[in-house]
């Protein structure tokens, strides 16, 4: 069971890192400035990039900002 939990945590980390990379690729050096610019709750966005809590609603909002689909986002994960 623990091995499965580790696999899940690694997958969450990959999602979080990909969201973080999208922000950086868009030219934002801090999560705070990105969250402020796009009117996303700063703490909620930090949680996404930290892999702490990712709601589908917020993930979709972030992907819409970057103009990519769920399919494109998850393609390489």
73 pLDDT higher than 90: yes
- What pLDDT shows up at residue 69? 97
pLDDT tens string 15-51: 999 999 999 999 999 999 999 999 999 999 999 999 9
- What pLDDT shows up at residue 55? 86
Question: What are the distances in angstroms from CA 58 to CA 4, 38, 47, 54?
Answer: 26, 11, 11, 7
Q: What are the residue ranges spanned by the domains of the chain? A: 2-74
Q: What percent of the chain has pLDDT over 90?
A: 86
- Neighbour-count burial for 29-57, b at 16+ CB within 10 Å, e otherwise: eebeebbeebebeeeebebbbebeebeee
Domain at 2-74: CATH code: 1.10.260.40
Q: pTM of the predicted model, to two decimals?
A: 0.89
């Amino acid at each position: 069971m623990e091995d499965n939990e580790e696999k899940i945590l690694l997958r969450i980390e990959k999602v979080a890192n990909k969201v973080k990379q999208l922000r950086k690729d868009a030219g934002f050096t801090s999560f705070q400035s990105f969250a402020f610019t796009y009117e996303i709750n700063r703490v909620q966005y930090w949680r996404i990039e930290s892999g702490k809590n990712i709601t589908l609603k917020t993930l979709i909002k972030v992907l819409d900002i970057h103009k990519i689909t769920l399919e494109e986002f998850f393609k390489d994960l």
